[in-house]
Amino acid sequence: MDTQRFRDLQVWQRPMTLARTVYKVTEGFPRDELFGLKSQIRRAAVSVPSNIAEGRGRATDKSFAMFLGQARGSLYELQTQIELARDLGFAAQDRANPILTEAAEIAAMIHGLLAKLRPPR
């Protein structure tokens, strides 16, 4: 596996775009959420492509699969936090829902890649 080419992977590129979107959406959060939900959402969004890149840099498919699992977990965390932000009125529905949709699509991509990396039982 070529560990240097993580930037070529759609499964890395799309979470990078999603993270940039999340940063823009969370700009409008209340000031008192700076170290609360805003920070949590941003960390979860950044964690997704970071874990994919780190996993791709590992020497084995097994290690890559472990990091893909962590990235998928961060996506679920992000979805939960975005739903909460939407429900609390911090993020408008028309800005939150596309994030939720994109996160679900990325999770499906990760799931598919995991299925290819893990041997059948």
Residue 27 DSSP class: T
Structure tokens at 60: 């084995």
Range of the domain at 59: 39-121
Residue 4 forms part of a structural domain: no
Residue 21 forms part of a structural domain: no
How many angstroms separate the most distant Cα atoms in the chain?
50
User: What global pTM score does this model have?
Assistant: 0.92
* DSSP H helices in 57-91: 61-87
- The answer to whether 114 and 67 are in contact (CB under 8 A) is no
CATH number of the domain at 68, please: 1.20.1440.60
Give residues with Cβ within 8 angstroms of 109, minimum separation 6: 10, 11, 14
Per-run averaged pLDDT (10 residues), the chain, 121 residues: 76 98 96 92 98 92 95 98 97 97 98 87 65
Residue 14 forms part of a structural domain: no
